[in-house]
Amino acid sequence: MSRELDRPVSDLSIQPLQLSDPGLISSAFTAIGWKKPAEQYIRYLEQQEAGARNVLVGRLNGEFAGYATIRWMPDYPPFALDRIPAIEDLNVLPVYRRRGVATALLDQAEELIGERSSVAGIGVGMDPDYGPAQRLYVLRGYVPDGRGLSYRNRFVAYGDRVRVDDGLVLHLVKHLA
């Protein structure tokens, strides 16, 4: 890998999800073999318009690079009960990783959350594909919420058998300054 790709780039913009984005985002992920249908982003747009979710879209040099969403009332029961907004569905296209995109998206998300809450929540998957995200969140000051693992928003108890997929999550919190 070229050292050039490891450097953050300065021409990064972050804007709210727009009506023209769902097809573009879906196509970008389809091109790398990920199934992220345009309907998902249309639903996100509807939720954004209703005030239930904010969607931040990052572009490098005008090209779609990644996105993150904030759910103001997440499904994870402890976050919902304590009204902790959650950063959900952070994704950066592989070609744009290690260039500061995820960091900038998280910075913006935390800033928006900080306008309404002193705590931000985030969940991270437990399979090796999430290793870089696990490290990033810890380095940014996120700590486990102390409730252990959950699978599809249900707590995993000692001795339970669960499938290791995107539904197996450790939830983290960060106290914002």
The three-class DSSP label of residue 108 is: helix
What residue ranges define each of the domains in the chain, with the CATH number in brackets?
Answer: 7-175 (3.40.630.30)
* Token pair belonging to 9: 């780039």
pLDDT tens-digit map of 121-141:
999 999 998 999 999 999 999
Contacts of 103 (CB under 8 A, 6+ apart): 8, 136
| Amino acid making up residue 166 | D
Q: Rounded CA gap, 124 and 110, in Å?
A: 16
Please report the pLDDT score of residue 177 as a whole number. Answer: 80
pLDDT tens-digit map of 78-101:
999 999 999 999 999 999 998 899
Look up the pTM and report it.
0.90
